[in-house]
Amino acid sequence: MLTLLKKIFTWWNQYTLGTKILTIFSGKFVGNDDFGNKYYESKSGKRWVIYKNEIDASKIPNEWYSWIHFIKNKIENNHEVKKYHWQKPHQSNQTGTNNSYHPQKRNNEIHKKYKSWKS
């Protein structure tokens, strides 16, 4: 029962019941990406994504970013796009995790130029 209420009223746990109904009745499946996100479009031109796990807009790779934002660009499949050896794979936003960038981070420890006066 609690899971059903979460589906109806909360959008941050996954897609809501309204999104599920919209997808079933008027959504045309366009494609999916390497992360498992699924992309849909309605007859009226509305576009949306159903994320595989946690909802985070930074999980949309650059191949689908232009499509979801109506930028005139073709949907590029991974087979059509030439990837160079220096290109890194897409990552979601790493802020707040151990993988986040910090200028003074060396060997996973942050070195400060000062000492805190509170111990």
Residue 47's H or E segment, with its range, is: strand 47-50
DSSP state of 15: -
Q: What is the pTM of this model?
A: 0.58
Domain boundaries, the chain: 2-78
pLDDT digits (tens, 9 = 90+) for 24-44: 888 899 998 888 899 999 998
**Exposed/middle/buried for 87, CB within 10 Å: 0-12, 13-18, 19+?**
exposed
Q: Which two tokens stand for residue 33?
A: 């990406």
pLDDT digits (tens, 9 = 90+) for 61-105: 877 888 888 887 655 554 456 778 888 877 878 888 878 777 766
Residue 32 has a CB neighbour count (10 Å cut-off) of 14
* Ranges of H-type helices in 10-101: 17-26, 62-68
